[in-house]
């Protein structure tokens, strides 16, 4: 339960947490009800923080927990707010800090939303305004900084939780694909060989040759990682996952004309937005005017 997150409280480490548990104090409600009878030092700060956490829970102030919880307890945020969490992933033209975003996929309120550069990428900003909690895998280091740079915004308008470290502290170590493979979450056959390098080549085929199937495969690949992330979040939250195959039915369709690796690789082109270098700022300004 989220109310059992105490490691972020001042003066509470593994030893004092064990002392609290031995005394039957396991939650914020227990702390508040015990008052000054708590079996640890700094009881006043512990009581104050427990009260603040209870208030944040009543107000559904998820950002409070994201900003303050210990890495060991952040999985509890997923468990408490799983049904309200949106999961996202991006594809880019490379790993450099200025690599353009090509595709964004987001599982939001039971639907898969996809956004493509030069088409509707700026619509992702509007979606973020409707997000309660945004989750990613390694997004703090990769996805979120690129979103901020692309749209010239100082921060996300919603709380963001990177599931990589809650997974790590729960024993799920490695990349998203390696963890989910060990857990038995298997992507559809046409996507099992897909990776980030291939995603770059697919974008290359689309921008150079207007290969519609390459575009569809790229979007489908990005969306598949989002589905894997949602499945992993369910496991992290100790929620049962039934009918795995039904999850994959939410993936965008693609013309069945051969395996994914049959796409011919070509040199990666230099991409330039048709709107110029200032396009993200213009998109943001337009959004503000119409809000």
Residue 91 DSSP class: E
Q: Which residues contact 178 (CB under 8 A, 6 or more apart)?
A: none
For residues 189 and 261, what is the distance between their CA atoms, to the nearest angstrom?
12
**Residues forming a β-bridge with 111:** 108
Q: Which two tokens stand for residue 93?
A: 């033209």
- Whether residue 229 contacts residue 135, with contact meaning beta carbons closer than 8 Å, is answered with yes
Which CATH homologous superfamily contains domain 2-59? 5' to 3' exonuclease, C-terminal subdomain (1.10.150.20)
Residue 252 DSSP class: P
Query: 88-131, pLDDT tens digit by residue?
Result: 999 998 777 778 999 999 999 999 999 999 999 999 999 999 99
Cα-Cα-Cα-Cα torsion 3, 131, 196, 97, nearest 10 degrees, comes to -100
Q: What is the pLDDT of residue 114?
A: 97
pLDDT band (50, 70, 90) for residue 241: confident
Query: 26-52, pLDDT tens digit by residue?
Result: 999 998 998 777 877 668 889 999 999
pLDDT at 268 over 80: no
SS3 call for 111? strand
**Residue pointed to by tokens 């070509």:** 266
Going from N- to C-terminal start, the domains of the chain cover: 2-59, 79-262
Query: 170-189, pLDDT tens digit by residue?
Result: 999 999 999 999 999 988 88
Backbone angles phi, psi at 62, to 5 degrees: -65, -35
For residues 15 and 210, what is the distance between their CA atoms, to the nearest angstrom?
61
| Burial tier of 101 (Cβ tally within 10 Å: 0-12, 13-18, 19+) | buried
Q: What is the CATH number of domain 79-262?
A: 3.30.420.10
């Amino acid at each position: 339960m989220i109310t059992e997150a105490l490691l972020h409280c001042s003066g509470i480490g593994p030893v004092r947490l064990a002392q609290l548990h031995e005394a039957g104090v396991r939650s914020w409600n227990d702390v508040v009800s015990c008052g000054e009878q708590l079996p640890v030092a700094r009881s006043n700060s512990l009581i104050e923080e427990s009260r603040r956490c209870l208030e944040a829970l009543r107000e559904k102030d998820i950002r409070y927990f994201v900003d303050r919880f210990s890495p060991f307890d952040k999985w509890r945020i997923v468990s408490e707010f799983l049904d309200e969490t949106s999961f996202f992933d991006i594809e880019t033209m490379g790993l450099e800090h200025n690599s353009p975003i090509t595709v964004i996929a987001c599982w939001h309120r039971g639907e898969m939303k996809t956004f493509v550069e030069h088409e509707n990428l700026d619509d992702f900003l509007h979606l973020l305004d409707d997000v309660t909690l945004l989750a990613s895998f390694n997004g703090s280091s990769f996805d979120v900084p690129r979103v901020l740079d692309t749209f010239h915004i100082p921060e996300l308008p919603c709380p963001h939780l990177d599931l990589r470290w809650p997974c790590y502290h729960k024993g799920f170590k490695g990349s998203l694909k390696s963890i989910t493979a060990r857990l038995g979450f298997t992507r559809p056959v046409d996507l099992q060989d897909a990776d980030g390098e291939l995603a770059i080549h697919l974008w290359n085929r689309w921008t150079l040759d207007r290969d519609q199937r390459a575009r569809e495969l790229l979007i489908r690949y990005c969306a598949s990682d989002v589905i894997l992330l949602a499945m992993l979040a369910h496991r992290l939250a100790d929620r049962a996952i039934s009918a795995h195959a039904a999850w994959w039915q939410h993936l965008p369709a693609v013309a069945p004309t051969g395996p994914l690796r049959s796409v011919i690789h070509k040199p990666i082109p230099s991409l330039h937005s048709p709107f110029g270098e200032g396009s993200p700022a213009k998109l943001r300004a337009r959004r503000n005017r119409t809000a």
